[in-house]
Amino acid sequence: MIKKAALYFVFVCLSTSLAPAWAGSGNDCVYEHSGVDVQKFKKSRHVIGFEKLERNTGYMGALKGIGGFHLQLFNCVHYGATLTVLLGPNPNAETVTKTFDTLPTLLFPAVEVAKVKAALKEVKLDALYNQQHLERLAAEIGMTDINVQIMDANGMSLLVFAFYGG
């Protein structure tokens, strides 16, 4: 219970700092779906606990053997998602590798999973504290940008994996 409250607190702090006010565009959305299969994500053997925060856009839960996550979906001017994974205060290389191995299956159609896994394997772990843009992968799978970064929030390390197209 305490863990869940702490996780929620971290994600709320994070989303507040990352998400300033926005000006809406009305109902002129080009996209109606993020491209992420939420049911597949929810039912994955890697996912334990899956809660809806906002209707069809925000979810939180935990990844087995890794930590809590927050999933933000986008489906208007662009499509895509940002997955934030709570790695804990001192994440080791094994946790990051395990996370990289899990993310593609959760977020991408089966046809692209191998490509995303291969690209993530090429990312040097010590470079992750600066945002890494996976330009070649983005071009290969028809996305505008795919990026990954480890950041610190309230003494916790968070892995932020984001991609969008449109």
The site map against other proteins for 67-86 (x = CB under 8 A) is -----x-xxxxxxx-x----
The answer to whether residue 2 forms part of the interface with other proteins (CB under 8 A) is no
Residue type at position 58: G
Q: Which residues of 109-132 are buried (b: 16+ CB within 10 A; e: fewer)?
A: eeebeeebbebbeeeeeeebeeeb
Cβ atoms < 10 Å from Cβ of 92: 11
Residues in the chain: 166
Quote the least distance from Cβ 155 to other proteins, whole Å.
15
Cα–Cα distance measured from residue 89 to residue 154, given in angstroms and rounded to the nearest whole number: 9
The site map against other proteins for 136-165 (x = CB under 8 A) is -----xx-xx-x-x----------x-x-xx
> Which residues contribute to the site for other proteins (CB under 8 A)?
15, 17-25, 28-33, 35, 57, 72, 74-80, 82, 109, 111-112, 131, 133, 135, 141-142, 144-145, 147, 149, 160, 162, 164-166
